[in-house]
Each structure stands twice: as C-alpha cells, then as structure tokens.
Amino acid sequence: METVIHPSAILGPETRIGKFTVIAEDVCVGVSCEIGHHVIIHPGTVIGNNVRIDDHATVGKRPMKAAASALTQELELEPAVVGDNSLIGTAAILYRGSEIGNNVLVADQASVREQSSVGSFTIIGRGVTIENKVEVGHHCKVGAGAYVSGPSTIGNHCFIAPEVTVTNDNFLGRTEERKEHFRGVTIEDGGRVGANATILPGRTICADGVAAAGAVVTQDIPPQTIVAGVPAKPFKPVPEQQLLENQVTYTNGTNGVNGKIKDAMLSPISLLELQAQRAGIPDKIA
C-alpha cells in the first residue's frame, strides 16, 4: 500500500501528492499544491491554494493529554487550516485547531499547537515550538529554536531571534496554586527580542520595545526602549530609524489572519466548486 486518499477528500486541480502520504476524510486541498512523501493530513484539515508541504510533515494532529498536564485540555477542536501560498517544512507538525495564514513559512521540524494562530507573511523558523493558545501576528519572524509558551500574544511586525524562551510558570511546576497563575507574555507591535533572551511570565514588551540578546526580562519593557542584562534594565531608547513607523515594509493590514483566514482562502476556486468537480478531478500521484 502506498499513498492513501480518502474518498471524501477534495483535491484541487494541479495538486500533486507524494508517495506513502495519507490524506484522511473530509480533507480539502486547494489548487496547485505540492504534498511531499510520507505526509499525514488528518481529518477535516483545510489547505489553501499553492501550498507546499514537505516530506514527513503532519497537519491536523490531535493533541495528547498527559496525566500530569496542566494546560492541555480535552476539547473538540476545529480542523487545522493552512492559508494560500504557505510553506510547511519537513517534519513540521501543525495540530488540529491551529490556523496558519497566507504566505507563511513554517520551517523544518517546527510545531504549532492547538488553539494557536500564525498571521500572514510570518516566518516560523526551524525547530520553533509554538505552544497552545498562542497568537502570532502578521509579518513576524520567529528564529530557529525559539520556544513560545501559552497563553501568549505576539503582535504584528515582531522579531524573535533564535533560542528565545517565553515562559508561563513562576512556580516552576510546584504547587497546585500555580495552575491559577499561568500567564504568558504579550509582545506588542514592533517588539523585538534578541538571541537567547528569556521573558518571564506575565511580562509585556510594549510597542517597539527591545530585549537585548541574553537579557532576562523580569519587568515590562516600556515603548521604544531597549533593555539589557540580568535582570534586564533600561539601556537606551530605540534609534528613531529603527521604529516600526519608519520602516518601508510596515503595514497595519491584517492580510486575512487571526480568525479571518478561512474567509480569504481557496480563491479563485471555492470549496463548493471543488466538491462539484470532485468526480472529474484525477488524483495526481507524484
């Protein structure tokens, strides 16, 4: 047995499927997609147009709840959604209940968990972990090996360098009281975090705030301020030429992200059109 495509799955024209790939029931894959070898696409997943999913990736995986898990809940989750023109790398994992916007790169071995969203034109680097209940805005970059715990909110045009750690538990796993105080991090629009910095639970990096490389952020970072050190303290203002408002690439549009992804997807061919054409569309096996 090689590739398995469930009869209820919908594949758009010019979509190609690799060997030993499994496409489960009620999956919808748009036009001109490239699905690699040994990919698993779980039930109900929606893939937009011109999406590339590389070998051994998994999309729509249900979360597992350990007996000692403090945040993972047994919920009925919406199917995973991947927007148009997005790239999903080798061995990447997108959980059921995750939403990936248009023109997103989720690099090799990265994971995005349930109830999390990634906005359009954002890059999630190699080996990044986006935990559950995390919202990442549009036009962001999250560097290789970064870890973002939930619940956290990352605004638009944010930069998170490699190996950054965003934490959520001031009790370090001790006492039942900790479960009442889980707090993620808020990074407002234009916030930036240098390599190997650590952001402690509940902290806010205000608009255009910067945590320098190696900083341990124990207090909120004021707007347009660079902090550095352990613990991090104000260092100097952000140079005016680096402010978000002065960047030629800045846009305050949403590009169909964060809850609006599905409305903007599968153009120019709709799901209904795909269903109507299903009987006449040959499955393309690469």
Q: How far apart are CA 278 and CA 257, in angstroms?
A: 28
Distance between CA atoms of 42 and 80, rounded to whole angstroms? 9
Q: What's the pLDDT at 169? A: 84
The pLDDT value given to residue 285:
40
Query: What are 213's two structure tokens?
Result: 């490389």
SS3 23: strand
Whole-number pLDDT of residue 64: 86
Which residue bears the tokens 């999913």? 53
Beta strand 165-166 pairing with 198-199: parallel
pLDDT in tens, 29-45: 999 999 999 999 999 99
Give the separation between CA 171 and CA 184, rounded to whole angstroms.
13
Whether the domain at 1-62+77-127+262-280 and the domain at 139-252 fall into the same CATH topology: yes
What does 204-250 look like in DSSP terms, one character per residue? EE-TT-EEPTT-EE-SPBPTTEEEETTTTEEEEEPPGGGSGGG-TT-
Average pLDDT of the chain? 87
Give the model confidence (pLDDT) of 85-139 as tens digits.
Answer: 999 999 999 999 999 999 999 999 999 999 999 999 999 999 999 999 999 999 9
Query: Which CATH code is given to the segment(s) 139-252?
Result: 2.160.10.10
pLDDT at 8: 95
Q: What is the pLDDT of residue 193?
A: 99
Tens of pLDDT, residues 141-170: 999 999 999 999 999 999 999 999 999 987
Residue 265 has pLDDT above 50, yes or no: no
Contact 19, 285 (CB under 8 A): yes
pTM of the model: 0.85
pLDDT per position as a tens digit, 246-261? 987 655 544 433 333 3
d(CA 57, CA 46): 15
- Give the confidence band of 76 by pLDDT, cuts at 50, 70, 90: confident
pLDDT at 143: 98
What pLDDT is attached to residue 257? Answer: 36
Helical segments of the chain, H only: 261-264, 271-277
What 3-state class would DSSP assign to 148? strand
Measured in whole angstroms, the distance separating CA 267 from the mean position of its chain's CA atoms is 22
Superfamily for 1-62+77-127+262-280? Hexapeptide repeat proteins (2.160.10.10)
Domain spans, the chain: 1-62+77-127+262-280, 139-252
Residue 252: what pLDDT? 52
pLDDT single digits (tens) 38-75 = 999 999 999 999 999 999 999 999 998 776 665 556 77
